[in-house]
Amino acid sequence: MRVRIEKVIQGGEGLAVPEDGRRVFVPAVLPGELVEIELVESKSGFSRAELLEILEPSPHRIEERCSYWGVCGGCDFQYADHAEQIRIKEGIIRENFARIGKIDEIRLLPTEVGKPWEYRCRSRFHVDLRSRKVGFLGRNSNELVPIDSCPVLTPKLNSLLKEPDLLIESAYRLQQKNPLVEVGALASRERISLLGREIALPVLDRTLYASSEVFFQSNEVLLEPLVRYVQEHAIGDTVIDLYSGVGTFSAFVEAKRVIAVERNKRCLAFAGKNAPHLDFYTGNVANLAAVQKGRIDTVIVDPPRVGFDRNLHEKIERWGTRRIIYVSCNSVTLARDVGTLVGLGFTLDSVKQFDFYPQTFHHEAVAVLSRGDAG
């Protein structure tokens, strides 16, 4: 079957609609391309296909840079030039807000762009203790793909692949029964954290402390612009940072009172060091409303991919909040939660993409919402 690709959708597949009207999802394609496909799965209303040949390639299609592309399960978007990657992701964000959030028109600000390569400072490597090989899992499999260099990793983190003894030693020390061991790593420009070792990471005019055991933003280049953006949009005397982690955002907020909410004890230990001026709440975000009294001017929230805890939207509304800054790595749940907040009386001021994950279909976005007399 020959089909024309209409657009790229959430998850990175291309959408084609042949004459019979079914929706066909095709991997590794770009908008406008004419391709030959073979259907491999059919369900009610849609089908999935295997790409056989690109008959009319997009002018934005380029040669994949990494020799492991298509085998390694990491990058999945190297066949598009960087500008086209950004444009496609902006389209996906708009569509998710329209389809899921029921907000047809959003003010999407220009994407904050960093480096398309050598940007990632946090990774999870896999080590096969039987063969002493190091790499990443294969595409759509749990099999190890041995790798000696990755072009999206920072040079410091990439050094672990070039000389993998540290990763192999770390895997042995983790003492897992499974011979395929996952080893997390976080790198500053000077040092590498393995097995929870603390390292210092300069951010703007401060130093933050973190380790491979805790969540820390993975884009070395765009972390500072993201922190500054959140800092600039916080208003009022009382600010609360939900899912605060190591205090990456709240450490930079200037307000009379800043409350950081986090359950992970290791994160809290770093947050206390990164921002000792904060008030800390160590319970579940969902239970915070029972103990938090008084108005919260700004809510900063950077939840997991699954989005808000249940009923968190209503709790924020009851705090008399004037500004919400919602940082998300999943525009599906971002659009869903923002749609609910708009239904509670908030106005969506803007959405801005931060190009945190070049060469992949993942994307980071920040939604700013206001209510009442927010400045």
The pTM of the full predicted model, rounded to 2 decimals, is 0.94
How far apart, in Å, are the Cα atoms of 117 and each of 66, 163, 247? 11, 20, 27
Residue in the block written with tokens 């904060």? 278
Q: Specify the DSSP class assigned to residue 61.
A: B
Residue with tokens 């699954």: 306
How would residue 338 be classed by pLDDT, with cut points 50, 70 and 90? very high
Superfamily of domain 85-115+221-370: Vaccinia Virus protein VP39 (3.40.50.150)
Tell me: pLDDT of 372 over 90: no
- CATH class of this structure's domain 2-61: mainly beta
- Helix %, strand %, coil % of the chain (to 5): 25, 30, 45
In which residue are the tokens 């690109």 written?
54
Name residue 49's beta-bridge partners: 39
pLDDT grade for 118, boundaries at 50, 70 and 90: very high
What average pLDDT does the chain have?
94
Active site residues: 329
364: nearest Cα among 199, 227, 212, 258: 227
pLDDT in tens, 314-325: 889 989 999 999
Q: Which amino acid is at 341?
A: L
Integer Cα distance of 104 and 310 in angstroms: 25
- Pull the structure tokens for residue 366: 């920040």
Residue 186 to residue 171: CA distance in whole angstroms: 15
Whether 336 and 100 have beta carbons less than 8 Å apart is answered as yes
Q: What is the mean pLDDT of residues 274-298?
A: 81
List where CATH 2.40.50.140 sits in the chain: 2-61
Rounded (5°) CA angle 292-296-297:
175
Q: Which residue has the tokens 């009022």?
A: 236
